[in-house]
């Protein structure tokens, strides 16, 4: 599968987008182009929105091949980098609308945690929402999206490539939900 001209242009614009740069304690140091955070191993802020339907199924989507991180991987959360002058909640609402076409739903804030992988270092803000409407995916970022039982998503993550950062967010969410049940 090849990368479309629209995906390539979107990726180029995304790489130079100014995003929040933070330290190990999530204190803002300033902003930097997204590609500099990756290339220099710096820490940014990201959001993860776990989107469920009323039946409790989780929205899982496949990323486009043009994504800088985890191209073509499956993702259990909508989300992205927190932009300049943007809060975690504002970023979450923006990303959910951009990637999946979902807006006007209450976002429930859960926790923030630090994630470190070989290619990304993030302070992660985790949110959840419920949506039973149609999904309108952003074709430059999302190949396909569907709802499935959480257990099925977790099973598939053992067999296929899933984004490790959003998977960590989901597992933490499920652990906390289990602890309070």
- For tokens 């994504």, the residue is 67
- For tokens 């985890």, the residue is 70
Is 99 within any annotated ligand binding site?
yes
Distances (CA, A) of 60 to 44, 72, 154, 164, 174: 23, 13, 11, 13, 16
Distances (CA, A) of 157 to 24, 69, 132: 28, 17, 24
Structure-block tokens of residue 41: 């191993």
For residue 157, count other CB atoms closer than 10 A to its CB. 20
Q: Between vectors from CA 71 to CA 113 and to CA 148, what angle results, nearest 5°?
A: 70
Is 86 within any annotated ligand binding site?
no
- H/E element, 165: helix 164-180
Q: How far is CA 160 from the centre of its chain?
A: 18
User: What residues are designated binding site?
Assistant: 95, 99
Binding residues for Mg(2+) are 95, 99
């Amino acid at each position: 599968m090849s990368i479309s001209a629209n995906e390539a242009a979107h990726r180029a614009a995304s790489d130079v987008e100014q995003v929040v740069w933070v330290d190990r304690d999530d204190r803002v140091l300033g902003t930097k182009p997204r590609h500099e955070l990756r290339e220099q191993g710096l820490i940014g802020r990201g959001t993860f929105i776990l989107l469920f339907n009323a039946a409790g199924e989780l929205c899982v989507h496949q990323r486009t091949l043009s994504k800088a991180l985890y191209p073509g991987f499956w993702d259990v959360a909508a989300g992205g980098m927190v932009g300049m002058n943007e809060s975690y909640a504002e970023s979450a609402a923006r990303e959910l609308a951009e990637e999946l076409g979902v807006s006007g739903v209450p976002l429930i804030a859960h926790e923030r945690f630090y994630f470190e992988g070989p290619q990304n270092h993030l302070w992660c803000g985790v949110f959840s929402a419920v949506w039973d409407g149609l999904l309108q995916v952003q074709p430059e970022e999302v190949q396909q999206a569907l709802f499935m039982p959480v257990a099925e998503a977790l099973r598939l993550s053992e067999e296929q490539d899933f984004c490790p950062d959003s998977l960590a967010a989901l597992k933490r969410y499920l652990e906390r939900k289990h602890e309070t049940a």
